[in-house]
């Protein structure tokens, strides 16, 4: 069972390939409420950085501390890392 965190936590969001281009940064630290989920963090950065990033995030895979989070439902905690990986092209 996980504890519900309250207060503000700092989460690192890293953007790879096209996500970095859309965000206009490779990574950033975001402060969110301790009860937030990964989906809330991604919504926040999308709102802050614009519609190009929102579209890229929607099509991207997300890793939380290196582990896939397909549902984007992982609760955040201080020091957590979220990686946004857009689909890779080529073959």
Give 80's pLDDT tier (boundaries 50, 70, 90): very high
pTM: 0.89
| Residue 83 pLDDT | 98
Give 88's pLDDT tier (boundaries 50, 70, 90): confident
Q: State both tokens at 6.
A: 């309250």
- Count of positions (residues) in the chain: 91
Residue 30 contacts residue 9 (beta carbons within 8 Å): no
- d(Cα 6, Cα 18) in Å, to the nearest integer? 33
For 24-63, write each residue's pLDDT tens digit: 999 999 999 989 999 999 999 999 999 999 999 999 999 9
Secondary structure letter of residue 79 according to DSSP: T
């Amino acid at each position: 069972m996980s504890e519900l965190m309250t207060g503000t936590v700092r989460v690192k969001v890293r953007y790879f390939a096209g996500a970095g281009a859309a965000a206009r940064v490779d990574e950033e630290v975001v402060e969110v409420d301790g009860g937030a989920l990964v989906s809330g963090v991604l919504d926040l950065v999308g709102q802050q950085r614009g519609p190009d990033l929102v579209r890229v995030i929607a099509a991207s895979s997300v890793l939380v501390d290196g582990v896939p989070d397909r549902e984007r439902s992982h609760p955040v905690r201080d020091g957590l890392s979220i990686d946004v990986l857009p689909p890779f092209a080529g073959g």
